[in-house]
């Protein structure tokens, strides 16, 4: 089980400062969509340069032109790129083909997918590397979480690894771990804590014991 730190509401220098504190406890650092919007793919490039031993995920939430978007992210140093599960199969196929050229991975974000079980089967068959259930900011505000959704996709996904994101905190992490995802994605559960290093260390400990 791996641990991914999601950075969303920071600029590049602040993001690098946060990662410097927790790098030893995480496997992947995510350059969140808000950072990509504010800073562009330069954020990916600078994070990879600062932490060459960490994998960097570019949360582009690609909906179209999958091959091109993955190519540009890969050129910037991304190891993993996110594609939306609601996008067309051809977009996902193009993303997968391009990622293979760069020895990179594709994570499909299932946010707002209506028939989760059916779409997870379809996406799995397209050769993606991760399928992620995700309670977005707006969902979390409505009190939703992704635990049940994770169990749904775990039943049907045969090839891809499974991931979960959205509102995970130290207090809810044991429940997440019991559902046995391959990748746990945490944002504010680390960055929102007073002692982010201690929070990341404790999460790493729990994830490593799983």
Q: Indicate the pLDDT class of residue 106, thresholds 50, 70 and 90.
A: very high
Range of the domain at 96: 2-209
Residue 137 — pLDDT band, cuts 50, 70, 90?
low
Sign of torsion over alpha carbons 187, 190, 196, 202:
negative
CA gap 66, 43 in Å, rounded: 20
Instruction: Please tell me the distance from the alpha carbon of residue 168 to that of residue 83, in angstroms, as a whole number.
Output: 21
The pLDDT, as a whole number, for residue 148 is 86
Q: What is the mean pLDDT of the chain?
A: 95
pLDDT band at 140 (very low <50, low <70, confident <90, very high): low
What pLDDT is attached to residue 146?
78
Residue 97, judged by CB atoms within 10 A of its CB (0-12, 13-18, 19+), counts as middle
Is the pLDDT at 144 greater than 80? The verdict is no
Whether pLDDT at 141 is above 60: no
For residues 129 and 185, what is the distance between their CA atoms, to the nearest angstrom? 15
In this predicted structure, what is the pLDDT of residue 143? 59
Q: Is the pLDDT of residue 145 over 80?
A: no
* pTM, two decimal places: 0.95
Task: Point out the least confidently predicted range of 2-6, 47-51, 110-114.
Answer: 110-114
pLDDT tens, residue by residue, 171-202:
999 999 999 999 999 999 999 999 999 999 99
User: How many CA atoms, within 13 angstroms, populate the side-chain half-sphere of residue 131?
Assistant: 30
The structural domain count of the chain equals 1
CATH code for the domain in which residue 10 is found: 3.20.20.70
Give the mean model confidence (pLDDT) for residues 104-116: 96
Cβ atoms of residues 44 and 72 within 8 Å? no
**Among 101-115, 117-131, 139-153, which stretch is predicted with the lowest mean pLDDT?**
139-153
């Amino acid at each position: 089980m791996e641990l991914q730190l999601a950075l969303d509401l920071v600029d590049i220098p602040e993001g690098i400062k946060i990662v410097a504190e927790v790098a030893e406890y995480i496997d992947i650092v995510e350059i969140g969509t808000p950072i990509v919007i504010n800073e562009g793919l330069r954020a990916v490039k600078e994070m990879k340069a600062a932490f060459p031993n960490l994998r960097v995920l570019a949360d582009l939430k690609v909906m179209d032109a999958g091959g091109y978007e993955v190519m540009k992210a890969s050129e910037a140093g991304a190891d993993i790129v996110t594609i939306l599960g609601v996008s067309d199969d051809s977009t996902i196929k193009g993303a997968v083909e391009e990622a293979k050229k760069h020895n990179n991975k594709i994570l499909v974000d299932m946010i707002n997918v209506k028939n989760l079980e059916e779409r997870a089967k379809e996406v799995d068959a397209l050769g993606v590397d991760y399928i992620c259930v995700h309670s977005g900011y707006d969902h979390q505000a409505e009190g939703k979480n992704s635990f049940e959704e994770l169990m749904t996709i775990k039943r049907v996904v045969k090839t891809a690894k499974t991931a979960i994101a959205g509102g995970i905190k130290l207090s809810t992490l044991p429940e997440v771990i019991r559902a046995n995802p391959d990748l746990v994605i945490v944002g504010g559960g680390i960055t929102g804590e007073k002692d982010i290093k201690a929070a990341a260390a404790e999460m790493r400990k729990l994830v490593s014991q799983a």
